Amino acid sequence: MSATLVKRSQRSAHDRGVSAARRLRRAMDSPSWPAIVEAIAAVCTFLVALAGVEIARVGLQTWRDEMHGRARYDLARKILRCIYTIRDAIGWVRVEGMLPEEFTDRPNRDAEGPPLSWQDLAWAYDKRWRRLSEALRELDANLLEAETLDFDGELRAGVLALRDLVNELRRALSTYLRARRGEDVAEDKLRSAQDTIFEGALYADEDVFAKRLDDTVSILEAVLKQHLRRPAAPRFWWEQ
């Protein structure tokens, strides 16, 4: 009995297969079959073209991001180098001792005069300040470029703090040189100026100016180093 059922089942499956083959044959012989094949081919062509467009878009976006990221990377590196140069130039201005070659080339200097007159000091500090001025000009040029790349706003607070320190040092030097020239300068004002000018501070317990400078440089470092990392690769539209 079971063998008979198996044979019937096999025969039924065979009949269904034959029937399906006949239907497929009739469909292929039908006048509409070429149209169906053409439609399928058109859909496949469209899908291939769509994939090509997406790959091209991602490739173009990758190239743009790479160029933009490279520009920001190079500019951030240049600005950070300017910041370090300004920091070092300020440090050189604040060195208390003067080398003879810093003032002996002053025009119209009297070789028989005092070994370090206020004019000698003014000449030497002016020479030291030139390095700082050059670094500040280079920073200004780079900040203009940063504005075109739209990340100058991130630097604004740190740069303003740095400029405030530079102006404070300039005012302190002016006060100190006026006192050395013989002008009447209040004692507390002169001491404050000397604490600002001279590295390590002469009268204060702590070199507050140096600490503020280090803090400002650290703030700018933190902002700029974010742009010294490679940008992430763009994602496909189905991953976004």
Per-domain boundaries in the chain: 2-52, 72-239
Residue type at 199 in one-letter notation: E
* pLDDT given at position 144: 87
State residue 228's pLDDT score: 81
Most confident of the ranges 15-19, 173-177, 204-208, 233-237: 173-177
pLDDT in tens, 10-52: 455 455 544 555 554 555 555 565 666 665 665 666 566 566 6
Local structure of 204: helix, strand or coil:
coil
For residue 44, what pLDDT is reported? 66
User: Which residues have a Cβ under 8 Å from the Cβ of 42 and sit 6 or more positions away?
Assistant: none
Q: Please indicate whether residue 40 or residue 120 has the higher confidence score (pLDDT).
A: 120
The residue count of the chain comes to 240
Question: Which token pair is 12?
Answer: 């039924």
pLDDT in tens, 165-183: 999 999 999 999 999 999 9
Least confident segment among 54-63, 111-120, 229-238: 229-238
Q: What is the mean pLDDT of the chain?
A: 77
Q: How far, in whole angstroms, is CA 198 from its chain's centroid?
A: 33
Give me the pLDDT at residue 238, please: 43
Question: What's the pTM value of the predicted model, to 2 decimals?
Answer: 0.67
pLDDT over 70 at 3, yes or no: no
Secondary element (H or E) of residue 117: none
Measure the CA–CA gap between 116 and 98, rounded to whole angstroms: 9
**204: its two tokens:** 């204060």
List CB contacts of 69: < 8 A, sequence separation 6 or more: 230, 231
Rounded to an integer, what distance in angstroms lies between the CA atom of residue 216 and that of residue 145? 21
Q: How confident is the model at residue 233 (pLDDT cuts 50, 70, 90)?
A: very low
Considering only CA atoms, which of 191, 170, 178 is closest in space to residue 119?
178
